[in-house]
């Protein structure tokens, strides 16, 4: 499985909400149609919020979409978002928390690029979570 260059494993969750930021950068991570590992949560956790902050406009030679989820639920945290919406300064919010936001220990969060490859762009992925 491919991973973002800034992929990391996270295990320092305390009792308080923690904010984790990871950056997808086309220049470093490529833009192929694929699910890229973003973060491994070493402890069982609840994702309370997540969103994309587009730092550099994303482009595609087709109709690319980008989503955030976990294995088996590629868009469970942030729904597939069309490349036309991924413009610099845009903030793309995830869905309201539900049972799919509960992560088992060692869960891997993935960013999924689908339909067509990205040809440019930079997205900060922000994940807010609590240790379960």
pLDDT in tens, 71-89: 888 999 999 999 999 999 9
User: Measured in Å, how far apart are the chain's first and last C-alpha atoms?
Assistant: 26
The CA-based diameter of the chain, rounded to the nearest angstrom, is: 44
For residues 53-66, b (16+ Cβ closer than 10 Å) or e, as one string? Answer: bbbbebbbeeebbb
Q: What confidence score (pLDDT) does residue 6 get?
A: 65
Tell me what pLDDT residue 97 has: 81
- Give the pLDDT of residue 7: 62
pLDDT value at residue 95? 83
Average pLDDT per run of 10 along the chain, which is 132 residues long? 64 73 95 94 92 98 95 91 98 87 92 97 95 80
């Amino acid at each position: 499985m491919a991973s973002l260059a800034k992929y990391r494993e996270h295990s320092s969750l305390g009792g308080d909400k923690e904010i984790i930021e990871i950056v997808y950068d086309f220049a470093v991570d490529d833009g192929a149609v694929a699910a890229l590992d973003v973060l491994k949560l070493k402890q069982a956790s609840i994702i309370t919020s997540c969103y994309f902050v587009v730092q550099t406009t994303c482009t595609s030679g087709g109709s690319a979409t980008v989503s955030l989820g976990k294995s088996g639920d590629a868009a469970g945290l942030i729904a597939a978002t069309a490349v036309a919406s991924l413009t610099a300064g845009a903030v793309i919010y995830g869905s309201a928390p539900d049972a799919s936001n509960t992560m088992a220990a060692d869960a891997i969060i993935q960013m999924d690029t689908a339909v067509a490859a990205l040809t440019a762009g930079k997205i900060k992925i922000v994940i807010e979570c609590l240790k379960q």
